[in-house]
Structures are given as C-alpha cells and as structure tokens.
Chain A
Amino acid sequence: MGSQGGFGQSKEFLDLIKSIGEARSKAEEDRIVLHEIETLKRRITEPDIPKRKMKEYIIRLVYVEMLGHDASFGYIHAVKMTHDDNIHLKRTGYLAVTLFLNEDHDLIILIVNTIQKDLKSDNYLVVCAALNVVCKLINEETIPAVLPQVVELLGHQKEAVRKKAVMALHRFYQRAPSSVNHLISNFRKRLCDNDPGVMGATLCPLYDLITIDVNAYKDLVASFASILKQVAERRLPKSYDYHQMPAPFIQIKLLKILALLGSGDKKASEQMYTIVGDIMRKCDSTSNIGNAVLYECICCISSIHPNPKLLESAADAIAKFLKSDSHNLKYLGIDALGRLIKLSPEIAEQHQLAVIDCLEDPDDTLKRKTFELLYKMTKSSNVEVIVDRMIDYMININDSHNKTEIASRCVELAEQFAPSNQWFIQTMNRVFEHAGDLVNPKVAHNLMRLIAEGFGEEDDTADSQLRSSAVESYLRIVVEPKLPSTFLQVICWVLGEYGTADGKYSASYITGKLCDVAEAYSTDDTVKAYAISALMKIYSFEIAAGRKVDVLPECQSFIEELLASHSTDLQQRAYELQAILGLDANVATNIMPMDASCEDIEIDRSLSFLNGYVQQSIEKGAQPYIPESERSGMTDVSSFRSQELHEVSSHALRFEAYELPKPVMPSRVSPIEQSSSNELVPAPEPSYHAEMHQVASSVPSVSDPGSLELKLKLDGVQRKWGRPTYSSAAPSTSNADIPKIQNGAPQLDAVSSSSSKAVSYDSRRQQVEISAEKQKLAASLFGGTSKSHKRQSSGSQKVPKTNIPAAEKSHVAKNATSDTAVLERTPQPPPDLLDLDESAVSSSAQSVDPFKQLEGLLDLNQDTSTLTTSDASASGAPDVMSLYGETTLNVQSGGVPNLLPAGRDEANLLSGLAGTPNRNGHGENTVTNPTQQLNKGPNAKESLEKDALVRQLGVTPTGQNPNLFRDLLG
C-alpha cells in the first residue's frame, strides 16, 4: 500500500469517507458532499499546492463524482495532472480524466498533445496508461492525431502494449470505421501474435468485423478452428486456465466467431463439427464457466449448418440446464431452447413441463425469458393459449419498456396467427385496454381496417356479424374508466361506422355513448375529433335512411362546445356536422355513404370539373397556368401559345424571382388562382375522396374551392384507413392463413387431415375447459408441435398418447415443485443475518460463532432486541431508500466519543451491547477480535495485519456493518 501508511490517504480524506459512510440519509450525505465540494473548490485553487496533495484532491474529486455530484470545476486540474512528468501523478491524472470526461468533452483537446508524447515514451507503463486513455477519450476528430502512433505500437516489444494497441484500434473502428478501414489487415496479423493475450484481444475486433462482413473472413475458418483446438487441448500457458478450464474466455470468443462464420455455410460448418463436438464432450458441467462454454457451444451449433450429432448433444446439454436447480442454468436452458427450436421443433416437447415450471416461476427474469421462448414457438395451433398468457402477464408489468415489448409481441403474434377475426378483435381489445398507450398507433389502424374489410368480398353476413360483435364489445368496454386514447379512437370510429348498421342499437343510444366518451375524456382532442366524426356519420346515416334525427341534448351541448373550440380542427368538424344536419337524404347519402371506408377512392388528378371555371377566367383575360416542368426549361418549350412564352422569357429575371415557387401556391387561395393562372392544375392531395367529388359536382354550395380544400384535409384523418395504398402484408396473412370459419369455432390447422381436425378440436375444447391444469397447458402449448411431427407416423389418435404421460409427469413434477417451494421458502425471510451465513457456507463454523455470541448477548438487553427485529422486518420488505438511511460505515475513530450510530444492524447491536466498551475504542476491540479473526477465514495472518492497520487508523471493525470486513471471496 501507499507511502503514507494505512490506505495511503490523508486523515482528512479518511474522515470524509467515514462521515459519508455514517450518513443516515441521502440528504445528509448530500450535505457532506456539498461541503466537501466547497472545500475542494477553495483548496484546489490555492497557489503552490504540493503535488502529492494535489493528487489526493483529484482522487477526492473522483470520489465526489462517483457519488453522483458534479465535480466539473476540477476537471481542468485533472487534465493538468496528466501533463506531469511524474508517472505517479500522470497515472492519477489519466484515471481521473477517463472517469470524468466523455468522448465529446471540450477539454480532450488539451490532453491529445500529452497522449501523443506519452505514446512515444520509452517506459512501456507510460505507453499503457496513455493507451487506456486513448480507448476512452479519443473521438472521431482526434483519431488522426494518434492513429500513426497506435499503429506503430502494434509491433511494440511488450505484449501488454500490443494488446492495448489492438483494443485502441478496435475502439477507433467502432467510433469511425472509415478512419481505420485501411488498417484492418493489422487485426489479421495480430491474430498470429505469439502472446495469447494479444491473440485473445484481437478476437474482439475480428468478431465485430465478421459480424459486418462474413464473406471477407471465410478463409480464416480453418485458422479459428485450429486455434480453438489448440486452446481446448491446453496448449496455452497454464496461467490462462480458469477454474481448470483452458482459457475459457478465449474459447467463448472463438465459438462466437465460428457461429458467425458457419451460419448458412455448409462447407465452413463442416470444418467446425469435430472441434465443437470435442469441446462439448470435455466441458465440465459442474462449474459455472464450464456451463458458459457449453452454452456458447449450443449457440454455435444452432447457428451453423445443422449437424444431427451435434444437435443431439446440444439437446442433452439443454436438458441438463433445464433440470438444474440453478435459476441461472434454467434461464440459459430456456434461451438455448429458443435457439434450437428452429432447427428441431420436437425438442421443446421433451421439456414442456420444465418450460411450464419456468413460466410459473416467481423469478421475473426467468418468466420473461420463457415468454420469449413461447413467442418463438408460437404457431396457429397454440397462439390462443400463448397470447392469452402473455396478456395476463403483461397486465401486471409496471415497467413501460417491458410492457411495450410484450404488448407488441402479442399484437405481432395475433396478427400473424389469429385463428379467427373474432378472436383477433377480442385479443386486440385486451391489449389496447391494458397497454393502449404503448402500442404503435399503426396497430389501431390495422384493427380498424380489419373490422372494415372483414373477411373479403364474398361473405357479407360474416362481415356484418363480425362488426356487430365488435360494436357490442365496444359498447361494453366503453363504460370502463380510464381507457387509453388510441383505444378510444378505435372505439369511436367503429361505433360511428357500424354502431347503427345492424339496427340493434338506436342512433340516440350510440350517440349518447359517444357523447359520454367525449365528455369523460374532454382533455383529449383526438378522441373528441373521432367522437364528433362518428356523430356526423351516424346522423347522416339516419338522414340517408329517411329517419328523423333528434339530437340529444348532451350531443347538442357537445356540438356547441366544439363550435367554440380553440382547436380549429374540432371547430371545423362541428360546423360540418351542423351543415349536414340541415341537408336532405339524397345529399347525405352522397356525403357519407354507408360502410364506404374501404371503397377505392377515385381521384380526378386533372381536376377536370374545374375546367368550366378555368375557361371562364381565361376568357376574362387571366394568364393560363404553365406547369412547373415547362416553366423551368423555358427556352425549349414549343407548346401552344408560343407568343406568350416569348413574352415571358423577355422578363426572364423577374419571372425567376417571383413565380418559381411551387405550383401548390396557386391552388391554395382562390384570388391568386384567378390572377395568375388560367389552367388550374394543382397537385392534388392524395386524400381526396370520391364522395367529395360527387358533392363538388352536385352541390355547388359546398364546392367552393377554399372550403373543399379544408374539408379534404380534415376528413383524410378518419378515412385514411380505407385507402387501398394502406394495405400491408400483415392482415393479408391473417386472412390467407385462415379459412373462413364461423365466429367462435376453434381454428383448425389447414395442413392436418380431416380426421385429425376433429381430434385437435376435441383436445382444444378440453384445454380451454381446465386450462389451469399444468398438463393441459403443456398440451395446448406443445400439442401443436407434436402434432406436426408425430402425425406423419401415427395417423390420428395422438392426443391421448401424449396427454397421458404428460399428465403423469406433471403430477410428479408438481409434487416435486411444491416440495422445493417449501424448501425455498424457509431460508428466505430472515434477511441480513442469514445473508451473512449464506455467503460463508464453506466456513459455516466460523460464521456461526459470532451469532452465537450475539444471541447470548441479545437476552441482556430487551430494547436492542426489539430494535433488531424491527430492522429485520424492515429489510424483509426491502426498500432501498430505507436501507440507505440505516447504513453506516463501520468506520469509527476510537477517539471521538459520540460515535454510537443508529443502533440498527446486527453488528451494531454487538457493539451496542458491548455497552461501555464502545465509548473507548480499545475495550471494544477485545470483544471483536475473535469475530474478526473468524470471519477472515483462511487468511488469518493477512486479516490480522489488516485488522491491526485498521485499528491504527481509528477504524473499528465493529461498526454497523461487519460485512465491510468480510472477505469478498468467502
């Protein structure tokens, strides 16, 4: 350790760390840190600070910044310190700048010069320190300044320098690929470096490069395979062994690279089979690292061209993972299963119960991973169960990132595999209800389109059934509080289009509901816009049907409110609605045709209906319109009216200046049209509507160009979904996959034969009935899989065959899980005390002792014992902030009397019970000494030394947290 004895820092600094450790709340800690910042600000600007002192200030700045406070006032001093000749100080300076600065910080420019100097240093440690900084701080701009030197260092005699140079170059490549593209061959060269460390480091950049362009590195397949072989055969120095595995980290990197190279390439893959198989066989599956390599092998096998033998051993390994007690291994097993399932779907079936156990595990991480697996193995036969489960899970998630992901997966699966439109709509409703604001708005539009389009042209009754069921479900849902905006938009749109279509509900009922929605969500303008458009549709349908329209009072007040709205959009809609109410049936049918949202809209791009108007204007002497294309190539235009063109060209300058603006201009306002153009051909908005044109030609009052424009824009909002350009691939698949089947009937697999249809139908029925049962879940999740594979051999009767063993198995499994559940439960609740024990399993006797002591002491003092229990319960329901509050570093200087901190932790208890001794540090030490030694375990001498040292510094081991003194490696 350092030169000043102890931990190498001044008393002042130790005091700082101590007081922060003893801070009882975040606020107190902040106060201490802010005070420290003030002190540092003052001190650091003093003239002639001794360098050693300065170094400590910099380290204190690092500490302050680590605790989340701003230490930017001292950055410049850290930068200055990098310039120092003394390597001691330089290193500290470098460390501080790498921790303080991001790559785009202004101060970096002041360090570049120093880095350049240091990269040329004779001392390889200086070079290494500089390279560390290069990796962190050199940005795209400054790469050229150091690049030549870094490249030179690739050939440095010290392997540590070569290694860091490779990593630096890799970093440059990540930052700005173009700057080092010409140097990529260097990585290949370094792969053959004599030093395994350098070789290992080179694998990082190569992995990145191969990810980007596989084909350029196909020639290296043999080299990588042979390196891997040598590593596996322990040809590397013993020092690379890790827990008896030969250089596992290098093996993993190599396997990752091979997976990339062998993907979809049979020839390359064949070169790897032997070595990957060998490694799988040799792997020690009892150690963590062995399993890490094993897992990487499975990833590799699932990525390269499939080999039956390897797949088999991968499946075995997965089975081992899944059967393991360790959650980590289960997690990896599930992940690996997800990878392998694409190649051999039948493998999932063997592990169905394990998968379902994971699905019901209390560990959220594992659960999520399992859902990911289910997502990968979804098909039309099990989509209902899976999506149902996913939504149930989604409802309880709080984290929005997570929720969005699950929601979008539900949507994706539903769109892809929906067995019926009815089911699709119901599922979407659930997704929207619970995660509506997180779903892509496109999904809502898809849903609207699906309801509008139905199954296609042929089956009208099914379509209308679908719509009425949608309407019914929405009328049910709409009364629920706090629905997401997107969902409300869908609801309003559907109610407007189809609310009255089947005659089941009266117009006043639907309009009433719509007004309720608008009122309940009065802050949401979009919803209000949808609602009023829906009202407009319903009223015009009523008018068209020749019925008398009676506007409910609440509708009337809603319309009036919107008439005075600040939103011009809402106002516009309200006025339009009012106008429609005054029209007769014939007009209304034209404006709002029934169920026409999917009709193709004919767009009259030439705007021929305006011809008469244009002609009139020309006759009055207006200039004819010249298309933009002709205007730009003015001189070689030889079309009609060449005279006028000549005239224009004589005013070339003026023309350029005034009339070049886009042709949209003349179409916007009518006065301009009249004055500047005769032949009016504005670029039409793509959202023109057929009905609008009809209106334009038949009802002159509406055909005023200005209002037409506005109107079009507004209506485009709701009509968009019907446009033919909108149709994407997703719904068409759902339609294509699914033959038209009556609502509610389970979907049948199109591939399976007619006899099996009945069977799968039956099995589905059962599953739905008792879905709580695990084996049923298994059957419904995995049944589809087995069907597609076993069916070929065994014809039909397959359901009983898989179901019975599954049931038996699940019975056993259930017993087993309930047992383990009990087992698991017992060790959990007592938090802190047991935590200690658990981490020192290997030396149980040692860790028991202090607690026996503790127990004996407990009886002495009732007060403190209540304190402990309360604490135990507090940490039983862990809350970080409260934990934070009770933390204290067990650093107490013996001299200061008022050190007894908030008596909460068990260790503190110990010192508290020691009572008086605590007042004078020495007495206390006698009590704690044995504990300390025992805790220290195998390394008695070292821990004794440390103990002595610590005491010398006034740090007593029996603060509130004896854990501070625990060996991390118990």
Chain B
Amino acid sequence: MQIEGMKLYLSLMALDNPFRQRIAEVFSEDGEGNMTLDDFLDMFSVLSEMAPRDLKAYYAFKIYDFNSDDFICKSDLEKTLNKLTRNELTDDEVRMVCEKVIDEADLDNDGRLSLEDFQHMIVRAPEFLSLKKNGFFSYKIVLEITV
C-alpha cells in the first residue's frame, strides 16, 4: 500500500460547503475573502465550541446577509435557499419558503430580518441549543489520505 497524497482541510472550507465563499468574505478585513492571520484567528475563535452563542449568531447573520446591508432581505433568503438546495426547488416554492421565513421571524414588520429578529429566532432553534451535536457553525479538521 502506498500513500499517494494527503489532504488536510477544514470542513468549513470544504468545497461542498455552500457558504464557503461567504464565510471567507465575512471574516476577511477587506470583504473580498483575502484573510490575514488575524482574520483567520478571528474566524477560529468565533467558530470554536467555546465561543458564546450570541457571537455565533451575530456572525451567522453576517454570513446570511449576502449583500451586507445589515438586513437579511428577500434576495438574501432566496440566495441562501438556492445554495442549500442546489436550485432544486421551483421558483414558486422558493418564493413561498422565503415568505414563510419572513412571516415567522420578522418581528418589526419591515419585510426583512434585522439582527434582532435573527437573534430572537435563532436562539430558539434546537440546533442552536445543542451546538456540540449538530455542528451548527463549527468546524472540524478533516484528514484525507488517498491510497
């Protein structure tokens, strides 16, 4: 048996993660995805298990806020949904889901989710309550060996 190659990477930055690019953008200082060492460390401290939940919620909000206007609006939701389902839902379904999300979580009735709305919603999520199990917004180091 011969080991041909070894790959060590973060689950967070795995090619399949739909929010890979977005995470890099949010944590980089220039907003383009080019990260300095400090940015990198920041990312780890936010994504570590010991990071406080509010912090995670805040950064999750940033990540889902694709156009960085500090609100998650409908276009952000559509983008998120299409990334999550790999465009397998029909337009009608996407529209319906987005409407439902805004209907559920928008507390101040402005048709988009502010950070407050988002936090209010996400701290009640079962995945969020037990971070350890579900890996919501955490990372894992993956070692891949090709033989």
* B is bound to A: no
